[in-house]
Amino acid sequence: MSTIYATFRDKESADRALTKLAALDYDAKEISVIVREDIEKTRNEARKGVITGAIVGGVTGGIAGLLLGIGAVTVAGLSPLLIAGPLAAALGITAIGAATIEGAATGALGGGLVGALVGMGIPKETAQAYEASIKEGQLLLGVPAREGVDEEIVNKIFVDEKAENIYISVK
């Protein structure tokens, strides 16, 4: 099983990618997101996106809908991050979204974002590029290939929406 990771310079590009993934019947729980953003702004945006997300369902509510209900996760060396999806679960962040965690006090995140991403099978150089992109305010999406939707399809969606630093992790 492979997971395709990429960064997006803006929320609108990531939202367009999510809309295309929703058309392929991806569920919000399947998609990993890491974003560094003003927490209150994101939470307020997510609350506004609830109605849209509830009506449309799935991931079509965009990033705001996908992040609904998650908390800030402070990773060593970075400002607050919002982490959702399978990546959050793999890092030991529980519940529907995430909890507020101090990176220095959390084993899985104690080594910082690069260490966490390397632990997910992403090469160190790619993880460092992702960390730098997130520090600049970009979003990281991770989408698993699955039966009927291979990595080339997800990769094409990412390329079409101007994603950068695309990496396919094979497990």
Q: What is the pLDDT of residue 110?
A: 44
Q: What is the pLDDT of residue 46?
A: 54
Structural domain spans, the chain: 2-170
pLDDT tens, per residue, the chain with 171 residues: 789 999 999 888 998 998 899 888 888 778 888 887 553 355 455 545 443 443 344 454 555 555 544 443 445 455 577 777 777 777 666 544 343 333 333 434 445 778 878 888 899 999 999 988 988 888 999 999 888 788 899 999 999 999 999 999 887
Strand partners, 141: 6, 33
Enter the tokens of residue 167.
């990496």
DSSP codes of every residue in 18-52: HHHHHHTT--GGG-EEEEE--HHHHHHHHHHHHHH
Closest alpha carbon to 34 in 81, 93, 69, 98 = 81
The number of beta carbons lying within 10 Å of the beta carbon of residue 41 is 10
Q: Determine the length of the chain.
A: 171
DSSP codes of every residue in 111-157: THHHHHHHHTT--HHHHHHHHHHHHTT-EEEEEE-BTTB-HHHHHHH
Q: What is the pLDDT of residue 56?
A: 41
